[in-house]
């Protein structure tokens, strides 16, 4: 894991901005800086996305009557068909009438 890489560990996702012996600082998609103890990163599975890719994402709001697993499958398939790599789906908000999802992935530069 290098500065500039994107990482996902548990509920943490973002770009590594600083690394020290004791902690790693991560900038979230919302531009918040999160300081995470390295012990936490070492104790949980860690996915690293190379810094050479660009992350593209969008939000989608869908009604509660649609199965979450079907939505995630469809959104991941759409991201794959769009050529995105390391695709992800996150639930952003549980609204009064719909669930807002964020779907995205990385685009490799040639």
The predicted-structure confidence for 23-61, as pLDDT tens digits, reads as follows 999 998 877 899 999 998 888 888 887 766 677 889 999
For domain 6-49, give the fold. Answer: SH3 type barrels. (2.30.30)
Domain boundaries, the chain: 6-49, 54-107
The predicted-structure confidence for 55-107, as pLDDT tens digits, reads as follows 788 999 999 999 999 999 999 999 999 988 888 999 999 999 999 999 998 87
N-terminal to C-terminal alpha carbon distance within the chain: 22
Distances (CA, A) of 42 to 20, 39, 45, 103: 14, 5, 8, 26
pLDDT at 51: 63
Please say whether the beta carbons of 106 and 83 come within 8 A: no
Q: What is the DSSP letter of 95?
A: -
CA nearest to 58, candidates 86, 79, 28, 27: 79
> Global pTM?
0.54
């Amino acid at each position: 894991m290098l500065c500039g890489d994107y990482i996902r560990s548990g509920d943490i996702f973002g770009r590594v901005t600083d690394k020290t012996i004791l902690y790693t600082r991560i900038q979230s998609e919302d531009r918040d800086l999160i300081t995470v103890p390295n012990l936490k990163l070492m104790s949980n599975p860690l996915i690293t996305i190379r810094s050479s890719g660009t992350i593209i994402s969008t939000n989608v709001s869908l009604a509660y009557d649609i199965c979450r697993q079907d939505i995630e499958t469809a959104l991941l398939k759409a991201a794959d068909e769009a050529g995105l790599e390391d695709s992800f789906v996150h639930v952003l908000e549980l609204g009064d009438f719909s669930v807002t999802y964020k779907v995205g992935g990385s685009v490799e530069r040639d």
